[in-house]
Amino acid sequence: MPVGTQKDYYAALGVDRSAKPEQIRKAYRRLARKYHPDFNPNNQQAEEKFKEIQEAYDILSDEKKRKIYDQYGFYADNIPPGGYGVGAEAGAAAGPTVDFSGFDFSDFNPQDEKGAGFGSSVRDLFSQVFHRGREEEVEGPARGRDLEHRMRLAFWDAIRGTQVRITVERAETCATCHGTGHASGPAVTCTVCGGTGKTARQAGAMRFTVTCPRCGGSGRERRPCPACGGSGQIRKPETFDVRIPPGVDTGSRVRVPGKGNAGAAGAPPGDLYIVTEVEPHPVFERKGDNLYIKVPVTVTEAALGAKVEVPTIDGPTTIKIPPGTESGQKLRLLGKGAPSLRASARGHQFVEVQIVVPKVADERSKEILRELGRLNPENPRAELLRQGTK
């Protein structure tokens, strides 16, 4: 076995051993973009570098894996932090002393008896060699993946809510194999291990007998289902009704439980999320749960005050224009906005006043305006001029 140095995951990512998780994450993202195969086509060196970066991040981004790596100098799934001693520092720990410091495992290419590589690293071999019979954590079948469906809605449908019929292509459990992925009939001898349930791997001068990755040690395997090809799922369109609640806006996500892809081996399906896009309205402008409109008023109404009728999503309502109202001034109507998805309350409606200057054609109207100017001689630009000459 050649003597050298072990894999240095910290050096692979270009960070110190004391680097924080955020520093590790940033370093990984930067290097992954640089060496990603999509950006380096037909570049074997970049592909190998990308694999090295992926492996380093897989260990250092996981707190438990990183602790094992820092303690032993390599990572194995079945070696807990402090579970096995390493040299004199962990002599009091349970289990045998294992010291691999000074050995270089990077040249090992685990192979089966026929010389075919398994694609597993040496740490996977030691994971099985040093397994002490502890019960492994086995996760259940994976839940189905969530799906997204984009939907364009009219303004009033978004405000009031609606029910729409949609068609979504989703993965459903195969009716032929009931999600197992296996064809009917008896199992056959495993084509990898020949029915022994074990395969031999070689790493340099070392040979290991491990559980067959194909049959899981049973020595038997089932033929794939002809309907789904062994996936246990079949994709097909499904049509159903969806209720859109009042108050959705552009970017809202409406969850439809159980309408995502089917889960594996009987696991529950994922969910469907309707992502809405709401068409604009010619009068109402929406910002969050608030609505905004612009209402024209006459010079007389703005100067003397008046009661004017304005539209709301509940129908016309009357508001009071205070005397002396200026153009651009906003008045608020409490609770007249859009329904909120987060609470039972509603937003507000804001009315922006826009003063409309009359078109004067007859002499009588002109004389009245001249008289108004003589009675109110103040210059509205006086303060502007004063500030501009300082």
* Cα distances (Å, whole numbers) of residue 386 to 107, 369, 377: 83, 27, 17
Scored b (16 or more CB within 10 A) or e, 9-42 reads bbebbebeeebeeeebeebbeebbeebeeeeeee
Q: How far apart are CA 187 and CA 215, in angstroms?
A: 11
Taking only Cα atoms into account, the Rg of the chain, rounded to an integer number of angstroms, comes to 36
Residue 205, phi-psi category: left (phi > 0), alpha (psi -120 to 50), beta (remainder):
alpha
Strands 233-244 and 198-203: unpaired
Other Cβ atoms less than 10 A from the Cβ of 122: the count is 23
Strands 285-287 and 253-256: unpaired
Six token digits for residue 154 = 């009219």
pLDDT digits (tens, 9 = 90+) for 49-88: 888 898 889 889 988 888 888 887 777 666 655 554 433 3
Six token digits for residue 70 = 């820092």
Dihedral of CA 151/153/157/159: which sign?
positive
* Cα distances (Å, whole numbers) of residue 61 to 7, 19, 43, 89, 116: 16, 11, 27, 25, 31
Query: What type of residue sits at position 21?
Result: P
* Cα distances (Å, whole numbers) of residue 101 to 15, 71, 109: 21, 11, 19
pLDDT digits (tens, 9 = 90+) for 111-126: 544 444 444 455 555 5
pLDDT tens track of the chain, all 390 residues?
A: 333 346 789 999 999 988 999 999 899 888 988 888 777 878 888 888 888 898 889 889 988 888 888 887 777 666 655 554 433 333 333 333 444 444 444 444 445 444 444 444 555 555 544 444 444 444 567 788 999 999 999 999 999 999 999 999 999 988 888 887 888 888 888 888 888 888 887 666 667 788 888 777 888 887 888 888 888 888 999 999 999 999 999 999 999 999 999 987 778 899 999 999 999 999 999 999 999 999 999 999 999 999 999 999 999 999 999 999 999 999 999 999 999 998 888 999 999 999 999 888 899 988 988 898 888 888 887 888 888 776
Asked if residue 9 lies in contact with residue 56, where contact means CB atoms within 8 angstroms, the answer is yes
